[in-house]
C-alpha cells in the first residue's frame, strides 16, 4: 500500500533517486535469500543515494520547486498550526453570512504568547479540495481574515499569516461579490494595524490572492515555496499564448525564495528537510516556529508607529530600479 502511494506522488526529478533506492532494496532481498554478505556494497549504494538526494534537491529549477510547493503531502496551514501552537481555537465566519473554508484562522498560543494565526487551506483529497476551492479564497474568505486581524489588533495580539494559494477564487460569483474590493480593503487596512504582522509563504503564493493576507513587517519563505504575481502557466498563456512554456515563465518570474531574497523582498528563507517539507513535516514546523519566535521578539520591541513604517517602506521599495545612460 505504501509503495503504491509513493509511486502515485512521485515527482519526475525524483525518479533516478527512487530507481537507486529500489536497486538497493533488491540487492538486500537477494542477499538475504542467498545468504550472501553484501553489506559493503549496500553501504556504498546508500552513500551514493544520500549524495544523489543532496544533488537533486540542491539544484532544483524554478519549475521543479513549483512542483514541490504544490506537492499533495506538503504541510498545510492547519498542519503547521497544530505543530507549533500550544493551544488553538478556530474562529469562523466573516459576520456577513459567509464562512469560506479556503481561509482558516483563529486564536492560538505560541510559546505561551497569545497570537492570531490565519492562512490559506487546501484539501488533502479531491473532495476536500473542492470544498476548500483548492485554497482559492472568495470575498468572504478575505473578509473573514480581516475580521480576525481586527480582533487581533483590538486585543494586542500579533498576527501570523501562512500563504499557500494559486490565487483568489476566479469565478463570476466572486467578482459579483467584490473579490477585488475585499483584497484591496485588506491591503489598506493591514498597513494601518498596530500589532506585529509576520507573513510566511509555506507553499505556492500567487497574485492578489496571496497579497490579501500578505502585508506585514516580515516576509518569511520556505526554501521550496514560490511567490509571484501570476502562475507560470497563466503567464506563459498570456505572453506566448502557449501554456506549455510554463517552465520558461517560471524562470523569468523570479519566484523562488533565493530570487526574492536577492531582490530584497524576502526577509528570511526557512530551510526545508532534504526532499521537501513533506518528507519531514515536524522538522519544517520546528524551523518555522523558531523563526516566528525570533521575529516576534524583535518586532515587539518596536512601537506600533515603527512597525507601520516598516510595512510601508517594505512595499514602497519593491520594484525600485535604477536607470543608467547607455
**Would you state the pLDDT for residue 323?**
81
For the segment 107-134, what is each residue's pLDDT rounded down to a tens digit? 999 999 999 999 999 998 899 999 999 9
Please check the confidence at residue 47 and state whether its pLDDT lies above 90.
Answer: no
Please check the confidence at residue 1 and state whether its pLDDT lies above 60.
Answer: no
Please check the confidence at residue 292 and state whether its pLDDT lies above 80.
Answer: yes
Q: What are phi and psi of 90, to 5 degrees?
A: -75, 140
Q: What average pLDDT does range 237-249 have in this prediction? A: 93
pLDDT category of residue 326 using cuts at 50, 70 and 90: low
pLDDT category of residue 4 using cuts at 50, 70 and 90: very low
Supply the angle between the helices 281-299 and 77-84 in degrees, to the nearest 10: 70
Query: 34-38, 45-49, 311-315: which has the highest mean pLDDT?
Result: 311-315
Give the pTM: 0.89
Please check the confidence at residue 5 and state whether its pLDDT lies above 50.
Answer: no
Share of the chain above pLDDT 70, in %: 97
* Residue 100 to residue 97: CA distance in whole angstroms: 10
- CA-wise closest residue to 95 among 131, 146, 135, 156: 146
Please check the confidence at residue 179 and state whether its pLDDT lies above 90.
Answer: yes
Q: What are phi and psi of 79, to 5 degrees?
A: -60, -45
Look-up: residue for cell 498597513?
191
The set of cell numbers assigned to 179 is 473579490
**Would you state the pLDDT for residue 261?**
95
Task: Spell out the residues 6+ positions from residue 285 whose beta carbon is closer than 8 angstroms to its own.
Answer: 75, 79, 80, 83, 84
* Residue 264 to residue 236: CA distance in whole angstroms: 25
For the segment 193-208, what is each residue's pLDDT rounded down to a tens digit? 999 999 999 999 999 9
Of 5-14, 65-74, 234-243, 292-301, minimum mean pLDDT range: 5-14
DSSP element (H, E) containing 202: strand 197-206
Please check the confidence at residue 231 and state whether its pLDDT lies above 90.
Answer: yes
pLDDT category of residue 3 using cuts at 50, 70 and 90: very low
**Would you state the pLDDT for residue 30?**
78
* Residue 290 to residue 75: CA distance in whole angstroms: 17
Fold of domain 66-316: 2-enoyl-CoA Hydratase; Chain A, domain 1 (3.90.226)
Q: What average pLDDT does range 26-52 have in this prediction? A: 78
Task: Decide: residue 114, CB within 10 A, 0-12 exposed, 13-18 middle, 19+ buried.
Answer: middle
pLDDT category of residue 42 using cuts at 50, 70 and 90: confident
What average pLDDT does the structure give for the chain?
91
Higher pLDDT, 47 or 180: 180
Please check the confidence at residue 293 and state whether its pLDDT lies above 50.
Answer: yes
User: What's CA 218's distance to the chain center, in Å?
Assistant: 15
For the segment 306-325, what is each residue's pLDDT rounded down to a tens digit? 999 999 999 999 887 778 87
pLDDT category of residue 7 using cuts at 50, 70 and 90: very low
Alpha-carbon distances of 63 from 125, 171, 257, 287, rounded to whole Å: 23, 26, 13, 24
Amino acid at each position: 500500500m505504501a509503495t503504491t502511494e509513493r509511486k502515485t506522488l512521485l515527482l519526475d526529478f525524483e525518479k533516478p533517486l527512487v530507481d537507486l533506492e529500489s536497486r538497493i532494496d533488491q540487492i538486500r532481498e537477494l542477499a538475504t535469500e542467498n545468504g550472501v554478505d553484501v553489506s559493503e556494497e549496500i553501504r556504498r549504494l546508500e552513500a551514493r543515494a544520500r549524495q544523489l538526494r543532496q544533488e537533486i534537491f540542491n539544484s532544483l529549477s524554478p519549475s521543479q520547486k513549483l512542483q514541490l510547493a504544490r506537492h499533495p503531502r506538503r504541510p498545510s496551514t492547519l498542519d503547521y498550526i497544530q505543530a507549533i501552537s500550544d493551544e488553538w481555537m478556530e474562529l469562523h465566519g466573516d459576520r456577513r453570512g459567509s464562512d469560506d473554508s479556503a481561509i482558516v484562522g483563529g486564536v492560538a498560543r505560541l510559546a505561551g504568547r497569545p497570537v492570531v494565526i490565519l492562512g490559506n487551506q487546501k484539501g488533502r483529497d479531491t473532495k476536500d479540495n473542492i470544498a476548500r476551492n483548492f485554497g482559492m479564497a472568495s470575498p468572504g474568505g478575505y473578509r473573514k481574515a480581516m475580521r480576525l486581524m481586527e480582533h487581533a489588533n483590538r486585543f494586542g495580539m500579533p498576527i501570523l499569516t501562512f500563504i499557500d494559494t494559486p490565487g483568489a477564487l476566479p469565478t463570476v460569483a466572486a467578482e459579483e461579490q467584490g473579490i477585488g474590493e475585499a483584497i484591496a480593503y485588506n491591503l489598506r487596512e493591514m498597513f494601518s494595524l498596530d500589532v506585529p504582522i509576520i507573513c510566511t509563504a509555506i507553499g505556492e503564493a500567487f497574485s492578489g490572492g496571496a497579497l490579501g493576507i500578505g502585508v506585514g513587517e516580515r516576509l518569511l519563505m520556505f526554501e521550496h515555496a514560490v511567490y509571484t504575481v501570476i502562475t507560470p502557466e497563466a503567464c506563459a498563456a498570456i505572453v506566448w499564448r502557449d501554456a506549455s512554456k510554463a517552465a520558461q515563465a517560471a524562470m523569468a518570474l523570479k519566484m523562488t525564495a533565493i530570487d526574492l531574497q536577492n531582490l530584497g523582498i524576502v526577509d528570511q528563507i526557512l530551510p526545508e528537510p532534504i526532499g521537501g517539507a513533506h518528507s519531514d513535516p515536524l522538522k519544517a514546523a520546528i524551523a518555522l516556529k523558531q523563526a516566528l519566535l525570533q521575529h516576534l521578539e524583535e518586532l515587539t520591541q518596536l512601537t506600533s508607529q515603527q512597525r507601520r513604517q516598516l510595512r510601508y517602506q517594505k512595499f514602497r521599495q519593491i520594484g525600485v530600479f535604477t536607470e543608467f545612460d547607455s
